[in-house]
Chain A
């Protein structure tokens, strides 16, 4: 090694802490050049002509191949969306729904497509309440009445029609091949299935789809083929979304519903429409934050929390320092309290987005945060503890060489959704009805409190936390990111943005950094094991209750800097990968 060492930076600690700029400066010098130099433990993948990051490396490759063939980011994203339905069956889907953010370089516009599932016309709160007025969890979360009208096929095909350049059959071809020819079963998927044998064998078609003919789990290394899924995808590739919403697949869905007291009718499917919505926008320290509006609560609350945090010298406090984590947790508490009250499908409920995301409201919230004192959640607003957290949604990010970007999060809700496979069609249906608040004030599936804004009504979309986000710098996509993680999605995306902007981490270091979460109730900071133990101790002394947590989220991010693409998939869940394009 000849001249690599740029010199070490002796930082007198009083300096480091008093004016942490010294440390921040040191780090900022290394931020983007640490790709090959030795300043950061983690370095992102690098590419010059485009990039795809998703929860499955094989799906990322599918997207990168589409980019290499001349497709744009939307073409690639649609290809990845269908491919993940094959190679990540627990969350990738055609029987679920989600949100897509698209930034178009040519016009500088950012568009959001809401393809969230809708409640069937027969769905009413009563359906999910037992005779004594309690929520019937099994109906709400499992079985055919938990299935909402899927939106994924409509959303992806709409995106392709309006903003893509390639024929549907071209972008779907790789997914069809992966389903028909099979893919090598990975350890992660095999063990995900192995731990859900009971759920996935409840219905004969699910059993047939995900297990060997003798009912045994398909082991790692064995080829896993999904012929019926391949047929369904081929039909969609040939006939477009109408195959799913009106044609053969629609009939198969409805037949399955009718046999099992499900709610979805042919008319529900025919009536389904993805909605283009105006994204929710904010600014943070000179960057533009563009994210998903309701019925996702994610974008509004990420912006709300960034606005609050902008009032504090986060960068000086230092990454995962107790000072920072205190302010962060205090901010999260307030945002999650608002979330339970104000958010729902905007077509049914007037969501006060501009108020929630205003700098003025943020200043008001910031002024309530005392640097040394913890305000209990109950003092912010009354609430109840929450019991449950699911993690199985998935996000992918795409950028092409023209500067177009796609940020997409979609889901079946629970891992493998309802566990119901449409007979003869080979795909899983969601259990998105669980995301409605079945009864106001009763904690719903994701452990959050939902009021009437998120009550069940026919045709309504359940509230979501999915937060596909694009951060713009000087009007151009700078960070494309998003994550699964249920209610933790919002806090995970928030910390990613803080890590790159305030803590000046490269996108890989930001992704690897340990995370925390506070969702108002329960009144505790959940933390990943790697959160600094001395910071933990200081937070306890400050009066926080701390709870060790499994890992949170699975960010799939791309950063664009100085003509190159830097990507990082999250190490927390196996199998994710970055595929770059260099031409």
Chain B
């Protein structure tokens, strides 16, 4: 699938500032002659059951759910099978993940949801990001010397923002859901009440979390055995309090969480422990419908999340820069392809998005960031023959808006409605504090404000939402038809991971499973090294090093949960990088 157009080529040529660049592009390009055709021939995205791709997506016609936990995926699949639409299934999956993937799935956290409703002109973007409690002041988290108390911003109830997840899921259902609300929550309630079998993955995650949870009795009661030891694989984890909370939310809607019994339990807990979230904070929490961010990339329309996520902005900026290069002339995974992608990541990361914060508090110059002029300037800084030097590591700025323990899920139904959701508790198991009597973990999102000064665009203010990198994304093809639903966890890597999924599918025509399995790279600005996953060949690394890249072999990046839609079929791919993820469809 080639998306080269004369327009793209025109821009490509226009942006080449020197003959020098042009020459280097041509020489480097020509060495792959022969290879490119081979790649294109063997990677056509129609290669589903033919034996020309190593990895195959799950195929279905009438609906697909992909999440990081198989039990949650099954919940969504069943809702679709019972006649629910994509939004119904997304609500069911959202609640189920809070039970089955407690490190990231949540009721006490927050996130973003992008919805494509068949027939609508534009996707709907729901911002249910956590908000700062009214009483949270930077001074409360500083000692006398003015040092920031990162511990208080990381663990325990004082780290928690006002949760948005329940409101977000409820809002989506109120607007677009078709099945009764309690029906959608019942599978999650059952999983909590009857228990889930602890997997090896959950055992490991809980073992890591227990030392921190020890400070919080309700957390130990929820996630350790009665003798305070860790659950092992094969044992049943029953979450009775959580089941009660889900039952209450099922019966009373989100009011149960923001005004009712759960709200009182949260505010009581906060009062007893010096936390800041009050009854009023909860009552005042609102989901925000934002205007979706969109751009065109090689005849596709990419729709993603606007601030208070910065991930979408970064993603679209990178795509605008890449428009200036014809990536498909370099084979996927080749040094030249990776070089252009890495340099694009670097330039966009260096183009610091100053002045970005919660758009209800700060004017964000989105159009400026996404202007063609800006893209051309950044593209012009990319040298096709060598890596541009980056600044030295600045630990002060090692800020990551999200830990890697976020989670994404994607749903498409038979009518072509689609939901792309990324949500999180911040760290794995969030603040590690469970609100007594609720089974609900609180997040630690207050960390993600910029704490240097309250005046910072991302400074903490009452009711303000901290920045995020979460990047739930939808792609529409040249005819405006939904093509791809994707997203990932991964902290600062999120938008770079999503970018590579888009490149692999749009530029390289890979099927969605192949696109998800390919090794990934990650380049920042303040960290000079080019992060690579295992699996990138040493010949490529050698060429990259010859261009001046410093190679940093890293752990795996992201966990994309994606659905592609073509020719009447849905193709699902769960990322292999985290255990237990699953794509399931209905025929």
A residues engaging B (CB < 8 A)? Answer: 1-6, 8-14, 16-17, 20, 23, 26-27, 30, 35-43, 46, 187-188, 191, 220-221, 317-322, 391, 508-509, 512-514, 528-530, 532-538, 540, 546, 548-551, 571-574, 582
Contacts and interface: CB of A to CB of B under 8 A. Distances in A.
B552 A11 contact: yes
Given A572-B51, A582-B233, A16 B538 contact: yes
Interface stretch (B28-36, B254-262, B349-357, B466-474): B28-36
Contacts of A536: 35, 331
Nearest to A220: B587
Given A38-B555, A512-B517, A533-B333, A1 B427 contact: yes
Contacts of B41: 548
Contact of A533 (B233, B234, B331, B587): B331
Interface in B517-564: 517-519, 529, 531, 533-545, 550-556
Contacts of A6: 555
Interface stretch (B89-97, B123-131, B303-311, B571-579): B571-579
Contact of B32 (A317, A319, A533, A582): A533
A37 B542 CA distance: 27
B578 A38 contact: yes
Contacts of A12: 550-551
Given A533-B334, A573-B51, A187 B538 contact: no
A530 B333 contact: yes
B398 interface: no
A39 B556 contact: yes
A8 B538 contact: no
B538 A9 contact: no
A54 B333 CA distance: 31
B333 A532 contact: yes
B428 to A, nearest CB: 4
B537 A532 contact: yes
Nearest to B545: A13
B208 A38 contact: no
Contacts of B554: 8-9
Contacts, number: 188
A6 B545 CA distance: 24
Given A9-B553, A13-B542, A529 B209 contact: no
Contacts of B540: 532-535
A46 B580 CA distance: 12
Given A2-B209, A537-B35, A41 B576 contact: yes
A358 B244 CA distance: 69
Secondary structure class of chain B's binding surface, majority of residues: loop
A424 to B, nearest CB: 32
B88 interface: no
A361 B55 CA distance: 38
Nearest to B56: A574
Nearest to B519: A41
7 contacts: A8-B531, A13-B550, A13-B551, A40-B534, A532-B539, A533-B39, A536-B331
A41 B535 contact: yes
Nearest to A11: B553
A1 B404 contact: yes
Given A38-B556, A188-B49, 17 more contacts: A1-B103, A2-B209, A4-B428, A16-B538, A16-B553, A26-B553, A36-B579, A41-B534, A41-B576, A187-B59, A221-B587, A318-B537, A508-B576, A509-B535, A528-B42, A537-B32, A540-B35
B200 A35 contact: yes
B536 A532 contact: yes
A509 B49 CA distance: 21
B137 interface: no
A573 B201 CA distance: 26
B552 A42 contact: no
B300 to A, nearest CB: 22
B278 interface: no
A191 B334 CA distance: 34
A10 B552 contact: yes
Nearest to B57: A574
B335 A534 contact: yes
B52 interface: yes
Contacts of B550: 10, 12-13
Name the residue in A1, A220, A221 with the highest tally of chain B Cβ atoms < 10 Å from its Cβ.
Answer: A1
Given A8-B554, A14-B545, A36 B204 contact: yes
Contacts of B7: none
B212 interface: yes
Given A16-B541, A187-B59, A8 B51 contact: no
A13 B541 contact: yes
Name the residue in B212, B535, B577 with the highest tally of chain A Cβ atoms < 10 Å from its Cβ.
Answer: B535
A529 B53 contact: yes
Contacts of A550: 42, 50-52
B403 interface: yes
B577 to A, nearest CB: 6
Contacts of B333: 530, 532-533
Contacts of A220: 587
